[in-house]
Amino acid sequence: MRSPGTRTWCGPRLLRLAPLPVLCGCEGRHSWLAGAGAEARAIESLFWPFLIGSAIVWTAVMAFAVFAYRSAASDKGERVGRAVILWGGAVVPTIVVAMLLLTGLLTLRALSARSPALTVQVDGEQWWWRVAYRVPGQAEVVTANEIRLPRGETAELLLTSDDVIHSLWAPALGGKMDMVPGRTNRLTLTPLTIGSWGGLCAEYCGAAHAQMRFEVVVTEPEAFRDWLADEAMPAAPEALSEGGGLDAFLDAGCGACHTIRGTEADGPVGPDLTHVGGRGRIGAGLVPLTAANLSRWISHTDDVKPGVRMPAYPDLAPEALDRLVAFLMALK
């Protein structure tokens, strides 16, 4: 039994708990170890050889350092030391690094060889995502802050930016790629698991960078094509007649920035709202789409997302705000 005031070292317990934060990041919709896409699984397969190779090099260096520290100075020790430097400091690390480089290059070559079945243009803006689906023989289908992809089919994402450098990253599906103004970069994704996977901007781009998110929704190919056909349609007539909501939308000047196909609202500045009611989240993936969140987003935009460029409407009459929210929620 310990006497009062006796101190014990809790090191072993802490060491047992230390891996928990790391392991907690190995699954989930934002984890690059979730393996929900072919590219993510390929990258994961690179992680383990790189980790093992790095561990070999580190262990060898530490072992040689300990050996050198404990060895007494002698002619024999000098010869051994030179051999250690040659093999441990040059030959072995060069072989290991060359093997890792070759493994990485072969993996990248395999990823770039996939032929895309779908092309999606994604433009990064401060601080949201403009998404356009390019279907041969049809007009572009424009949406925002949500990328829908068919399971098992490779999609090519054409990435660019309208203002500063952004970086698109959906960790569970594949690697990240910078979005540079005036340049188009290409990223292929082949989702393998149905679900909603989180994405984010991985390059600091300004005040609201941490709130620049998006959703990648993976469905069966048939469901994806049905959704794309519906998304290409203008706003439903029943939604446009929803309690005078369209008049409230136009009277507030929202049509100067936002487009609702089938109406006179054709603003090119902000996200396309033609089917905004069918999206899962608002504010570039920031909060779930509910009537309460949408009402707060419109009236107190800066409180929800500090730094956002959309102006708030705190003085909008409660009746007009209710009509506007009901109208936007009906745009599905």
Q: Would you state the pLDDT for residue 232?
A: 93
Q: Would you state the pLDDT for residue 55?
A: 86
CATH class, domain 118-231, is mainly beta
Q: Would you state the pLDDT for residue 73?
A: 61
Q: Would you state the pLDDT for residue 1?
A: 44
- What's this model's pTM, rounded to 2 decimal places? 0.77
Give the architecture-level CATH label for domain 237-329. Answer: Sandwich (2.60)
Nearest to 250 by CA among 263, 241, 234: 263
- What string of pLDDT tens digits covers the 332 residues of the chain? 444 444 444 444 444 444 444 444 555 676 766 778 888 888 888 888 788 878 887 887 788 778 777 776 666 667 777 777 788 778 877 887 888 888 878 877 777 767 788 999 999 999 999 999 998 878 889 999 999 999 999 999 999 998 999 999 999 998 889 999 999 999 999 999 999 999 999 999 999 999 999 999 999 999 999 999 999 999 988 888 767 889 999 999 999 999 999 999 999 999 999 999 999 999 999 999 999 999 999 999 999 999 898 999 999 999 999 999 999 999 98
Contact 217, 280 (CB under 8 A): yes
The residue behind tokens 């007494």 is 72
Q: Would you state the pLDDT for residue 75?
A: 60
